[in-house]
Structure formats: structure tokens, C-alpha cells
Amino acid sequence: MTAAVDPPAERLLHDLGITEPGEIDVEVIAHAVGAVVRYRRLGSGDARIVGLGDRAIITVDERASRVRQRFSVAHELGHWHHHRGRRLICHGAADQQDGVAGCEREADGYAADLLMPRFMLEPLVAGVPMSFGLVYQVAAAFGVSAMAAALRLADVHPAAFALVVEEADGRRWFRRSASLNPRWFVRSAASDMRATADRCRLPRANVAFAAPAQQWFLGQGVKDAEAMYAIDRMACGRAVHLVVVT
Ligand SMILES: [Zn+2]
């Protein structure tokens, strides 16, 4: 079910009469709220926004991939909505990681709402099990990165699951789905996970296999639960572990 009050990005889509993923044209949407998008070579970061009164210019790095550019425009529109008049510097990684500052998180949330609105995504995932196959299907349908799609599915998909993400530099963080038991802790020891994957002779990415939930979670009732596990190395260079409670 959708929330009683639509988030501002989804309200904007409704106001503009946008009803299909293919209609989410970030340049047109930006124009509707007084912002012009231009593509240039940027020295640092993926994008920036400069506003004056009710007009703004969003500049996006011309060398970034199209999905990243779209997310960057949507992210800057998030700043335009939530943080107008404040001076902000956006640091790369617009397709999200934990630990980013509050404003960046808010802008990322706005971008996810704008590019993958619940009212379009919920019908698409209804009755479809959570998997990397679904992640790539959503990424293709909505023109976003696989990482952005996976994180959005953690908000919207009804399954209980966790994503454990390994950055290229070895840092790890995780994201829980909305319906994962809040008293279960995620074991984020990815080396153990890799060992598990190796032990099970994981033939290739995107193949899920069953395993006891307690290999990935700690908490009451975990030892009686089963899970499906899969790993995927995404184009962004991150390795993502998906553990779905079955
Ligand atoms: Zn930002």
C-alpha cells in the first residue's frame, strides 16, 4: 500500500501527469520546477546545482554514464526541493551509500522517489520474488543503476531480505528491507560470506542457493529460518550479497 501522504517527488510526478517509467524525463521535470540541466566536464563530484531565486542551473558531469547522470539530476532536484538557499557540495557516489550526511541522504531519497516511484514500482514487483533478476529488470525499466534499483527494492519489496555491499576498497555496509525482522542483526562479515559461497561452489553470479538464515543473521528465531543467498558483482565495482528469508 502507498503511504497516506505521497512524498514530494511522487506528488510532482502526479502533478505533471507522469504515469509510466518511460515518461520520467529528468530534464523535462527539472524544467517544470525552474531548473535547467547542462552537461559539462566537472573537476570533482558528479553534479552541482546553483540557484538564484526560483531559477537554478544543474550541471552534470558529461563523462558519467546515462543512468548516473539521471540519478544526479534527480538528486540535485532533491536539494532544490529540500535545501533551497543552502550552500551544498555534492560528493560523488550519488547512487547512495550509508553514512552520507543528512542532506545527501534526503536528496538521494528524493531521487529514488522520483525515478522509481512507489505507485509504479509496487505493481511491478507484486508477487515477484526478490532476486538479482528482479533488480536488473527494475534497473532497465526505470533507467537507473542496479545499485539504485537494489536499494529501492529494500524500501518497496515486501520480502524480508538484506543487502550486504562491499565497496571496491573493502569497506562494507548493509541495507535491510522494510519487512526484515527488526530484532535480527545482519552479520556483515563478508569474508565469511565469500567463504560460504566458495564452500557451496557458487557456479556464477546471480544463481541463488538455499542456506540456513543464521549464517547471515543473528537474533531470536534465526536458527529455525531458511534463506536464499546470491552474490552479484555490479558494474559500479561493488560486490552485493543478497540474503532473502524464505
Ligand atoms: Zn547532494
- Average pLDDT of span 210-231: 90
**Cα–Cα distance measured from residue 117 to residue 103, given in angstroms and rounded to the nearest whole number:** 20
Using the mean position of ligand 1's atoms as its centre, give its distance from the Cα of residue 90 in Å. Answer: 4
Question: What is the identity of the amino acid at 17?
Answer: G
Rg (Cα) of the chain, in Å, rounded?
Answer: 19
Using the mean position of ligand 1's atoms as its centre, give its distance from the Cα of residue 73 in Å. Answer: 10
Give the Cβ contact number of residue 127 at 10 Å: 6
Please, which residues have CB within 8 angstroms of residue 45's CB and are 6 or more apart in sequence? 61, 89, 90, 91, 92
Using the mean position of ligand 1's atoms as its centre, give its distance from the Cα of residue 107 in Å. Answer: 6
**Cα–Cα distance measured from residue 34 to residue 222, given in angstroms and rounded to the nearest whole number:** 51
Question: 102-115 and 66-82 are packed helices; what angle lies between their axes, rounded to 10 degrees?
Answer: 120
Using the mean position of ligand 1's atoms as its centre, give its distance from the Cα of residue 35 in Å. Answer: 15
CA 98 vs CA 15, 57, 142: distances in Å: 31, 28, 22
- Report the DSSP pairing between strands 55-61 and 35-40: parallel
CATH class (in words) of the domain with range 8-115: mainly alpha
C-alpha cell at 108: 538521494
Using the mean position of ligand 1's atoms as its centre, give its distance from the Cα of residue 106 in Å. Answer: 9
Using the mean position of ligand 1's atoms as its centre, give its distance from the Cα of residue 91 in Å. Answer: 7
Q: What's the confidence (pLDDT) of residue 100?
A: 47
Q: What's the confidence (pLDDT) of residue 94?
A: 42
- Average pLDDT of span 87-106: 63
Q: What's the confidence (pLDDT) of residue 5?
A: 78
Using the mean position of ligand 1's atoms as its centre, give its distance from the Cα of residue 49 in Å. Answer: 9
Burial zone of 17 (CB within 10 Å; 0-12 exposed, 13-18 middle, 19+ buried) = exposed
Q: What's the confidence (pLDDT) of residue 200?
A: 53
Using the mean position of ligand 1's atoms as its centre, give its distance from the Cα of residue 83 in Å. Answer: 10
Using the mean position of ligand 1's atoms as its centre, give its distance from the Cα of residue 103 in Å. Answer: 7
> Are 118 and 156 in contact, with CB atoms under 8 Å apart?
yes
Over residues 130-174, the pLDDT tens digits come to: 999 999 999 999 999 999 999 999 999 999 999 999 888 888 889
* Domain definitions of the chain by residue range: 8-115, 159-245
Using the mean position of ligand 1's atoms as its centre, give its distance from the Cα of residue 195 in Å. Answer: 36
CA of residue 108 relative to chain centroid, distance: 8
> Are 114 and 77 in contact, with CB atoms under 8 Å apart?
yes
- Average pLDDT of span 27-42: 97
State the average pLDDT for the chain.
Answer: 87
Give the long-range contacts of residues 85-90, CB within 8 A, separation 24 or more.
85/51, 88/49, 89/45, 89/48, 90/45, 90/46, 90/47, 90/48
Strand arrangement, sheet containing 239-245: 172-176, 161-166, 239-245, 226-233, 209-212
Could you give the angle at the alpha carbon of 169 between the alpha carbons of 168 and 171, nearest 5°? Answer: 100
Check residue 17 and report its DSSP letter.
T
Using the mean position of ligand 1's atoms as its centre, give its distance from the Cα of residue 46 in Å. Answer: 9
Q: What's the confidence (pLDDT) of residue 76?
A: 95
**Cα–Cα distance measured from residue 81 to residue 58, given in angstroms and rounded to the nearest whole number:** 13
Query: Which residue in 71, 82, 11 sits closest to 46, CA to CA?
Result: 71
Using the mean position of ligand 1's atoms as its centre, give its distance from the Cα of residue 246 in Å. Answer: 36
Over residues 66-87, the pLDDT tens digits come to: 999 999 999 999 999 998 877 6
